[in-house]
Structure 1
């Protein structure tokens, strides 16, 4: 039995209001387009999650909304700027078979690198730009059994590949 993780960094956010807190920053127009393109890609590839773990930040919530997936996300304050260990703990507590997790750099890039046994041959995997999405499978019965370095990469994409 396998479990699938869709690990996504939020789409491009807006910096237009200097008074706004980091947590409250929304997506900019490019970010909204990227989120919609990523949603189209997830549907076209049949990478459809049955659970979504999303940072409570505005930009991650808007990224999730732009994906147009038919499920209600679990908003997790602990995923806001979480490091790899915190993200691993959240994933180990997941209940879905295919889990979408949306978070922030630098933690999400570190988490992706920690999870995969062999990284994808993609020039942007290490820096994990906004909207970067890893799809990876684990040969486990439950998320509680996952360990770093055991994910098998299924796919990796960045929004520019979809919107170019």
Structure 2
């Protein structure tokens, strides 16, 4: 099974009256989300289930990905992905991932980074090193697991297949 961990794209801090959950993407974020979406399509990284935070910036990131999906995908908007953004997402993946072969999470840091670090037991050296340094906005970690159901997910059992940052595309 494959987990696609996508951190939301760069958000706009221009309106200080907006609550954090309501901040939209800025121009650079919209561009980066489109770049990573095109990359996902070209590499056939196509989720069949997507768990997305309810924040404005994650939903806008999802909107940039959707036109590039070439198959049906079940989409769940989960406020817990926003509320637990200081923790890791492992429990939410176990609870909501089901038997999706390609599960995508669109979330926040530090939870996205912590989840990738806690699950990737092995991986390509360069990708592992990049992941440990920084998980920038709109970055995508692709982690493979030898499990049959996401409820079986355990720490350090995944293989980090790649870690992609929009600036590298």
Task: Kindly report which structure 2 residues correspond to 1:1-164, keeping only aligned pairs within 5 A, or say none.
Answer: 3-67=1-65, 68=67, 69=69, 71=73, 73-80=75-82, 81-84=85-88, 87-93=89-95, 94-95=97-98, 96-120=100-124, 121-122=126-127, 124-126=130-132, 127-162=134-169
- 1 CA distance for matches of 2:75 and 2:32? 19
Q: Distance in 2 between matches of 1:151 and 1:34?
A: 26
Number of aligned pairs? 158
Alpha-carbon shift at residue 90 of structure 1 (Å): 1.3
Q: CA deviation at 1:66?
A: 0.5
TM-score of the aligned structures, taking structure 1 as reference length: 0.91
More helix by share: 2
Which structure 1 residue ranges, 5 or more long, are not aligned?
none
